[in-house]
Amino acid sequence: MDVSGLVCAVLLCTVMVQSKPTIKKDRVLYQDPEITRQAYDDDNKSFQYDHEAFLGKEEAKTFDQLTPEESKERLSKIVDRIDSDADGLISTAELKAWIKRVQKRYTYENVAKVWADYDLDKDNKITWEEYKQATYGYYLSNPEEFEEATDQFNFKKMLPRDERRFKRADLNRDLAADREEFTSFLHPEEFEHMKDIVVEETLEDIDKNGDGHVDADEYIADMFAHEDGGPEPDWIKTEREQFADFRDLNKDGKMDLDEIRHWIMPQDYDHAQAEARHLVYESDQDKDQLLTRQEILDNWNMFVGSQATNYGEDLTRNHDEL
């Protein structure tokens, strides 16, 4: 990666941390899909949430460029892959397994894309020093180019935070991550042993006054940036009620680490199962709890339907199959 690439990579990382979620409750990792889907629908008037769950984020973007005919053709082929027992019917369990597979594939493909950028000595491991050099090397060698106070603060904040997360992912404590360890470093929300770090980082992001807790104003500020004199959306009032009724469990006016965990990672909740049930419920015309190919194709919009306004226009049609 060249110097400009390094700078862009770090700045992108910094911007992502500082930016506001674009939909309500964006930080919640394991919530009822109906809640998140409603947030998507409010903003996008689409089935985008379902598309990303069923296809994965990257593949959903590809399907957005297809004509309805192309989308249905590909969806029909996907149905064959979901139907693991080849009985011509798709059960909730088969849909759940597919959704989990899609999420896992997205995670590992994402790591594969960036692996070479960090494995500088090509020994199929990434040490902390390699990661630090690839990500922060230009900043560490040229601090005078980052004189703006905000940039300096962001880099100084992110470096120790990344090091803490890297060491948490490094299960054998050799300061060198294999692919599984590096995957847990980049995608900690997908790994049980990394969930504490996700909660800690969420607290740090939202806790602007540094008191180790998240009060109602900080909770709202993380979702909504006030404009001077601008009105609050109606959903802000609902969120304040949610904070008081369901986030602040011990009613002390703020959230601690345990309450943040309960918020973003509710216990005993299976996202893939809930999404699979939703897809079956919405598409099961004869209400037998099973989906035929035709029932899925009849509701193709929910599974893969394109949101493009000019279907397929000036686009390459020879996409790789999912």
pLDDT score, position 199: 96
Residue range 207-212: mean pLDDT, rounded: 96
Highest mean pLDDT of the ranges 57-61, 253-257, 309-313: 253-257
Gap between the Cα atoms of 233 and 145, Å rounded: 40
Residue 197: which H helix or E strand, with range?
Answer: helix 195-206
Gap between the Cα atoms of 76 and 57, Å rounded: 19
Highest mean pLDDT of the ranges 147-156, 221-230, 272-281, 312-321: 272-281
Q: Is the pLDDT confidence value at 23 over 70?
A: no
Gap between the Cα atoms of 118 and 128, Å rounded: 10
Residue 255, phi then psi, degrees to nearest 5: -105, 135
Which carries the bigger pLDDT value, residue 138 or residue 85? 85
56 residue type, one letter = G
Percent composition of the chain: helix, strand, coil (DSSP 3-state, to 5): 60, 5, 35
* Token code pair at residue 246: 């369901």
* Token code pair at residue 65: 């460029």
CA dihedral of residues 60, 39, 18, 52 (deg, nearest 10) = -20
Mean pLDDT of the chain: 81
For strand 126-127 and strand 291-292, is the pairing parallel, antiparallel, or unpaired? Answer: unpaired
Burial 162-192 (b: 16+ CB within 10 A, else e): beebbebbbeeeebbbeeebbbbbebbebbe
Gap between the Cα atoms of 304 and 102, Å rounded: 14
Total length of the chain = 322
286 burial level (CB within 10 Å; 0-12, 13-18, 19+): exposed
Residues contacting residue 73 through CB under 8 Å, at least 6 positions apart: none
* Token code pair at residue 295: 């029932």
Name the residue ranges covered by the structural domains of the chain.
Answer: 22-125+178-303
For strand 176-177 and strand 214-215, is the pairing parallel, antiparallel, or unpaired? Answer: unpaired
Q: Is the pLDDT confidence value at 225 over 80?
A: no
Q: Are 264 and 30 in contact (CB under 8 A)?
A: yes
Q: Are 265 and 195 in contact (CB under 8 A)?
A: yes
pLDDT score, position 227: 66
